[in-house]
Amino acid sequence: MRRRATENLTYYNEEMERCAVEYATYAYEQVEKAKVACNDPIVLIEQKLDFSRWVPEGFGTGDCVIVSDGTLSVIDFKYGKGVEVLAENNSQMKLYALGALELFDGIYDISAVSMAIFQPRRDNISEYAISKEELLRWANEVLAPTAQLAANGKGDFKAGEHCRFCKVRATCRKLAEYNLLSLVTILNHLLRLIISKSPLSSPKQTNSFLG
């Protein structure tokens, strides 16, 4: 009796398999497109990408990297569905692209960089392309100085919606201040609304009460 290869996998489910097959199909399609410009493109899966040239000790893992004459492609598979993620000006994708450039720019004549986020549980395929020159300009003029400030313990903390994925968000003082300010703003708005609906108050009285 034949057993399924996934039979004893703890975290396996059919949705996961479907998403993985869809991702593999998309990646294969991108490889076929690369073959139009290059007979033997390089395809790397789960490739470590080192971008420490711009970010001290910086590295990541590229889910799929395709290298052909003229174009470097980086594909990121995101299984989550809580937040739709876009590729346009996505800092993570640009970091991975820089890491891939470090590996192959001297071997292939790369002029364009293509980045794609494949997020099947959100029916989201987001693609973005920029020139190599534009990517390197961002890396040298924006990324490197900012990363060096952070490495030196300097610079300003900036809290916002992006903090939802931060590992230290539970203990971050800047985020706590940001959340408190947001709460005060919401409460002030609600209080203004409640008072304005009162038959005993006028707009002038409402503004005077709330400052």
Backbone phi, psi, residue 151, to 5°:
-65, -30
Q: Which amino acid is it at 36?
A: V
Question: Rounded CA gap, 74 and 15, in Å?
Answer: 24
**End-to-end distance of the chain based on CA atoms, in angstroms?**
78
In 3D, which of 110, 97, 100 has the Cα closest to residue 68? 110
For the chain, 211 residues long, give each residue's pLDDT as a single digit of tens: 455 555 666 677 888 999 999 999 999 999 999 999 888 899 999 999 999 999 999 999 999 999 998 999 999 999 998 889 999 999 999 999 999 999 998 888 899 999 999 999 999 999 999 999 999 999 999 999 999 988 888 877 777 777 777 887 788 887 777 777 776 777 777 777 776 666 645 555 555 545 5
Entry pTM = 0.77
State the residue for tokens 């395929």: 125
The answer to whether 19 touches 37, Cβ cutoff 8 Å, is no
Question: Rounded CA gap, 190 and 182, in Å?
Answer: 12
